[in-house]
Amino acid sequence: GDPVAAHTVERSGARGYFVEKRIITDPKGLAVGLKHFNVITPENVMKWEEIHPEPGVYDFEAADRLVELAQAHGKKVVAHTLVWHAQTPDWVFEDEEGNELSREALLERMRDHIHTIVGRYKGKIFGYDVVNEAFNRDGSFRESKWFNIIGEDFIQKAFEFAHEADPNAQLYYNDYHMEDPEKRQGIHEYLEEMIEAGVPISGVGSQSHFSINNLPPLDQIEKSITEFADLGIDVMITELDLNVLPASVYQYDEDDKERDIYREGLPDSVQQKLTDVYTDLFEIYLKHSDILTRVTLWGVSDDGSWLNYLPFEQTNYPLLFDRNKEPKPALHALIRLADRN
């Protein structure tokens, strides 16, 4: 058969996708990604430390290849991410003597970074995760260098700079734990103020790195879609994957080989649970396909997932394609679900 994630999501008016560095050198993975998904997101290669590693030094090679690949195959690119507290070198926040930058100097540096990247890909990149993960779980601002030096308006400035550089690009705010009412409310309030002030924001992304053993309540997942939609901007699921490992494996120490509990394969019962949880989630996504504009999986096949590595090596099964790039039972179930909708 030809079961396809893109088919599933297209039926709902939403768009699926993939990418990571290594898939481009992995012909089978690349073919599966191109066949089944219609939007590509770079998992790492557009993060500050990779694309702008030293002052005045940009490395566009991987991003250029990704954009060319997307164009050659008629795929959209949603880039990740312009402003984040992580994967950003320390020099960004310091002058040549190592002193912390002033607000004005850091804003100028942010502007230069955003203008250089968004300007380079003007008309070629569909949308950007402009700011990533700026809030704490209780809804307050995260104490990042961006926040501490610039203040609350660092988010809105980033959107303004991106809009200057490409007025047609879609501009998104992206974060996790959107299922948590407190965090959601804090972000909702800030975005509402931004929108009222006329800041150019097109949408909000909910990362959705979930675990099959500890899923947030489904009604809260649903609210994370509907409550943001009332802002009149796009709502997207941006980094969906489902960790299958029980929390207990994360308590084992570094050298304990037994912690890699599914090294020999996934037990049928866990495979079934993975299918069930993906189905529960897509029932919600399909129900709200009028307001949900994209569902992005954080990778194509299990071998490529970050969940095999962090915080240590372990065999995980979070995605819709297995290590042989074959569709998993979860994908077949989603296609049946989409066909019924």
Q: In terms of CB distance, is 193 or 256 closer to ligand G3I?
A: 256
* Residue 270 · residue 212 · CB < 8 Å: yes
Please state the φ and ψ torsions of residue 82, each to the nearest 5 degrees.
Answer: -80, -45
Window contacting ligand G3I (CB under 6 A); options: 41-49, 103-111, 155-163, 263-271: 41-49
Q: Is 143 in the active site?
A: no
Q: In terms of CB distance, is 12 or 315 closer to ligand G3I?
A: 315
Among 26, 43, 160, 302, binds ligand G3I (CB under 6 A): 43
Q: For residue 81, say if its preceding peptide bond is cis, omega within 30 degrees of 0.
A: yes
Q: Which of residues 134-193 bind ligand G3I (CB under 6 A)?
A: none
Q: In terms of CB distance, is 204 or 286 closer to ligand G3I?
A: 204
CB of 219 to ligand G3I, least distance (A): 24
Is residue 44 a contact point for ligand G3I (CB under 6 A)?
Answer: yes
Q: Which of 82, 174, 89, 92 is nearest to 121 (CA)?
A: 82
Among 60, 141, 262, 306, binds ligand G3I (CB under 6 A): 306
* Residue 85 · residue 145 · CB < 8 Å: yes
Window contacting ligand G3I (CB under 6 A); options: 31-39, 43-51, 55-63, 331-339: 43-51
Please state the φ and ψ torsions of residue 130, each to the nearest 5 degrees.
Answer: -75, -50
134: amino acid identity, one letter: A
Write out the DSSP string of 133-191.
--B-TTSSBP--HHHHHH-TTHHHHHHHHHHHH-TTSEEEEEES-TTSHHHHHHHHHHH
DSSP 54: B
CB of 17 to ligand G3I, least distance (A): 14
Window contacting ligand G3I (CB under 6 A); options: 39-47, 57-65, 93-101, 109-117: 39-47
Report the catalytic residues. 239
Footprint of ligand G3I (CB under 6 A): 43-44, 47, 87, 132, 207, 209, 239, 306, 309
